[in-house]
Amino acid sequence: MESPMGIAILTTMRSMSATCIGPKPKAPITFTTANPTVAFTTPPNYAGRLSHLLALQGFDPLWCPTLLVQYTPNTISALKPYLSPISLDSLSAVAFTSRTGISAFSEAIAALDQPPLSPAGEDFIIAALGKDSELINNEFVAKLCENGGRVKVLVPPIATPRSLVTSLGEGRNRRVLCPVPVVVDLEEPPVVPDFLRDLESAGWFPVRVGAYETRWAGGQCAKVVAERIEKGEMEAIVFTSTAEVEGLLKSLEEFGLDWREVKRKCPTLVAAAHGPVTAAGAKRLGVDIDLIGAKFESFDGVVKALRLRLLGSAH
C-alpha cells in the first residue's frame, strides 16, 4: 500500500473500540462543575495533543507532567556511530517505540553531510507505532537515503511494541537498531527489555542505543494533582506510560500521599491508561486501572472512553 507521501506502507493501522475494566456505572457520574477535571501526566512532547482532545470532549484538562523526555547532546552523540554508511549497511531495520526516538534519529541524520544509507540494497525497514509514524515523512526519508524507494515504513495494526515485533516477522539473524530511552531517576519499566527479548525470540539481533532521556520531573511535579486530591476536586487521571505512573507516585510521597490515600480522598476517581502496556505497568506499581483506551495508535480511544464513562455519551 502507498501512503499519501508516496512512501510504501507495509502494514496499516486499524481502529479498535475502547475497553472498560471493572464495573461500568449505569448512569453518568454527577459533578459539581460543568466540566470534570481530568489530570494527565504526559510529557511536554505529547501534552498539547492530549489536552486538546480532552477539552474537545468536555473535560477540564489539568496537566501534571511527571517526566521530562528529550534527546540531549550526549544521546545524539551516542546515535552517530550507528549512522555511518558502514554501520547502516549492517542493519536491516530501525524500530522506534516512541516519538522522541524518531525525533532524536532525525536530528542526528540532519547533521550529516549526505544521506548515510546506500541507495542500493535490500529493502530497509523503518518501524514505528501509531501516530508516531507521521514523523517518518518524505523529508525524514530523504535525509536517510537518496533512494526513497528502498525505505519501507512499517506501522503495526496495534500500536504496541509486541505488535511491532510480530509485524516485522522472522528476523533470520538480521540486525535491527532500537533507539530507546536512557532512564534517569526512575526504575526502567519492563517495556524496553521485553521488546528486546521479543525481537530476539523472533530471530532478530537487536542493537540497543540510548537515543534520548526519560527523566523524573522532580519531587514537586505532582503538586497541582496533590492539591486537587486534598480538596476532592479531581474526577480522573490519564497515564500514557508506566514511567509516568512511577513519577507521579514518587512525587505524591513528597506530599504525604500514596495511592491508597488518593483513592480514599477521591473514591470516584477514574484511573485511565492509554493502552494495556501502561495498564499492566501501573498495576505492577500498585495503581489499579479502571479504564483502558484500546485505540492505541492515538489518544482518541482513551479520551472517548473517558467521556462515555464520566458523561454517558461520546462525540
List the chain domain ranges.
Answer: 19-66+217-311, 70-214
pLDDT at 46: 86
* Residues β-bridged to residue 40: 63, 238
pLDDT at 45: 86
Q: How far apart are CA 40 and CA 52, in angstroms?
A: 12
Q: How far apart are CA 285 and CA 52, in angstroms?
A: 28
CATH class of 70-214: alpha beta
pLDDT at 297: 74
Q: How far apart are CA 270 and CA 235, in angstroms?
A: 6
With a cut of 50, list the residues of the chain below it in pLDDT: 1-9, 11-32
Cα separations in angstroms, 200 against 45, 97, 102, 188, 208: 30, 16, 22, 19, 12
Are 19-66+217-311 and 70-214 the same fold in CATH?
A: yes
pLDDT at 314: 56
Instruction: Please name which of 25, 58, 124 lies closest in space to residue 116, comparing C-alpha atoms.
Output: 124
pTM to 2 decimal places:
0.83
* Residues β-bridged to residue 173: none
Strand locations in the chain (E)? 8-9, 19-20, 37-40, 60-63, 67-70, 93-95, 124-127, 151-154, 175-184, 205-216, 236-239, 270-273, 291-292
CATH class of 19-66+217-311: alpha beta
DSSP 4: T
Q: How far apart are CA 292 and CA 121, in angstroms?
A: 42
